[in-house]
Structure 1
Amino acid sequence: MTTITPEKLLAELRRAADVVAGIAATFSEEDVKAPSELPDWTRGHVLAHLCGIANAMARQLEFAAQGKTIELYDGGFDGRTRAIEMSAGHSVAEHRSDLDRALVRALAAFESLDGADWQRPISFRGGVVFDGGLALWREFVIHAADLGTGRGPETWSRPFCEHLFEFLAARVPDGQRFVLQPLGLPAVAIGTPGSRSTAVNGMLTDIAAWLAGRTPTLGSLRATAAADGVDLPALLPWPAGVPATR
């Protein structure tokens, strides 16, 4: 498994933010109104959410620098939802402007960190700044795929997929163990040790996409249990930092 250091994470955040901004820069007025890959959300909803989470995480860091914590979104999950719905219908120029400002704010907050700052507590998941950086990385990369422009999970890097394996182990139901077997790479076991095992075979990015609730794009996944072919196992809900469905 690839070890993600603060320095590597910062580089990944910059790269992912560039991808998101680059996609948004190509959109027309009609493009932002078109459906995204997420149920009931247009691309405008996804852009509004990306803007919201970037600002929210920047705020986590700004308060952490003062030795304080603050909830992720004003008004909690309901506040998050209201803000997205209010902004989803903005013009493409408004979306780009809002997103650019949010990305600059978030990256500036992370770029200002010294070594010990990465371990300052934040309210998000009761974690630290480093956890917030990982979360923002996930949001940027996964929602870039959700924008539905042809840049799907097949573009996800090995370090990102391996991070998802670790983070999304929380989606394995109690009393089960998944042995993830990406083609040509070492197997990764997640879930409850010693429990009934299900092996999931396929391309690295396809396994990561399945765990993240997205559609595999490079091929089919195959699940086996006790050497017999079985259906892909059910997953628990995404381990959200706030009560959410996306």
Structure 2
Amino acid sequence: MTAITPEKLLEELRRAADVVAGITAKLTEQDVKAPSELPGWTRGHVLAHVAGIANAMARQLEYAARGESIELYDGGFEGRTRAIELSAGHTLPEHRADVDAALDRALRAFGALDAAGWTRPITYRGGVVFDGGLALWRELVIHATDLGTGRGPETWSRPFCEQLFDFLAARVPDGERFVLQPLGLPSVAVGTPGGRSTVVNGMLTDIAAWLAGRTPTLGSLRATAAADGVDLPELLPWPAGAPVNR
């Protein structure tokens, strides 16, 4: 797998933020009110969530820099949900302002880190700042796709997909082992060593999309077990504490 360094992660965060800001800049008022790729959410909900998680992760870093900690969202998951619902109906200019300000805040927080700063503890998933950076990267890239403006999972980079394979190994049920076989690339095994094995073949981005609960776009995935074709295996819920599932 491609190694992600703090320097590389910062580049990816800036790139992903530019994509989200670029999409937002091209939306119309009607676009914002239209359904997104997430059931029950408009694009306004997605934009509200993107602004919310960017601000929340920036706050994690700001507190960590002072040697303090704070929960990811005020009021926990329920507080997060309330904030999204309150902001989803904002006007297009309000959404643009919120997203731009939140992305700028987050990028400034990550951009100001020294080597030690990436290892400071944060509340999010009981991890460190680097983990928070990976989480924000996932949020921005996947939700750019969820906005449903034509930027599908086929645009996800190899390093991003490989990072998803690692993070979403937690979705493999106990006692099972998935051998992910992207076309033309080395296979990746996730799940229980020695567990019941299922091989999932397909394009790299399609496998990543399936693991992330999104719709593959480049072709059919194929699953086999004991050399026989089978249905794609069931996945556990998105890992606890990781809000990008919705």
Give the secondary-structure state (helix, strand or coil) at the position aligned to 1:62. helix
Distance 1:146 1:173 in 2: 25
Relative to structure 1, is the Cα distance of residues 243 and 115 closer, same or farther in structure 2, using a 3 angstrom cutoff? closer
Distance 2:7 2:243 in 1: 30
For residues 35-74 of structure 1, what are the structure 2 equivalents within 5 Å? 35-74=35-74
Give the secondary-structure state (helix, strand or coil) at the position aligned to 2:16. helix
Q: Quick check: 1:89 aligned with 2:89?
A: yes
- In structure 1, give the amino acid aligned to 2:87: S
Checking the alignment, whether the CA contact within 8 Å between 2:212 and 2:245 is kept in structure 1 is: no
| Alpha-carbon distance, 1:11 to partner | 0.1
- In structure 2, give the amino acid aligned to 1:68: E
Identity %: 82
Distance 1:179 1:212 in 2: 16
| Alpha-carbon distance, 1:243 to partner | 7.5
Give the secondary-structure state (helix, strand or coil) at the position aligned to 1:216. coil
- In structure 2, give the amino acid aligned to 1:153: P
For residues 102-117 of structure 1, what are the structure 2 equivalents within 5 Å? 102-117=102-117
Stretches of structure 1 that go unaligned for 5 or more consecutive residues are: none
Give the secondary-structure state (helix, strand or coil) at the position aligned to 1:229. strand
Distance 2:62 2:240 in 1: 22
Partner residue of 1:6? 6
| Alpha-carbon distance, 1:240 to partner | 3.0
Q: What is the TM-score with the length of structure 1 in the denominator?
A: 0.99
Distance 1:104 1:29 in 2: 23
| Alpha-carbon distance, 1:199 to partner | 0.0
| Alpha-carbon distance, 1:244 to partner | 8.2
**Deviations 1:16-38, CA, capped at 9 Å, x for gaps:** 00000000000110000000000
For residues 1-246 of structure 1, what are the structure 2 equivalents within 5 Å? 1-241=1-241, 246=246
Checking the alignment, whether the CA contact within 8 Å between 2:213 and 2:245 is kept in structure 1 is: no
**Deviations 1:109-133, CA, capped at 9 Å, x for gaps:** 0000000110000000000000000
Superposition RMSD on alpha carbons, in Å? 0.9
**Deviations 1:179-223, CA, capped at 9 Å, x for gaps:** 000000000000000111000000000000000000000000000
Relative to structure 1, is the Cα distance of residues 95 and 214 closer, same or farther in structure 2, using a 3 angstrom cutoff? same
Checking the alignment, whether the CA contact within 8 Å between 1:141 and 1:156 is kept in structure 2 is: yes
Stretches of structure 2 that go unaligned for 5 or more consecutive residues are: none
The count of aligned residue pairs is 246
Distance 1:97 1:169 in 2: 36
Give the secondary-structure state (helix, strand or coil) at the position aligned to 1:161. helix
| Alpha-carbon distance, 1:231 to partner | 0.2
Checking the alignment, whether the CA contact within 8 Å between 1:203 and 1:219 is kept in structure 2 is: yes
| Alpha-carbon distance, 1:43 to partner | 0.1
| Alpha-carbon distance, 1:241 to partner | 1.2
TM superposition outliers: structure 1 runs of 4+ over 6 Å: none
**Deviations 1:68-107, CA, capped at 9 Å, x for gaps:** 1100000001110010000000000000001100000000
Distance 2:2 2:243 in 1: 29
**Deviations 1:135-171, CA, capped at 9 Å, x for gaps:** 0000000000000001000000000000000000000
| Alpha-carbon distance, 1:242 to partner | 5.9
| Alpha-carbon distance, 1:245 to partner | 5.5
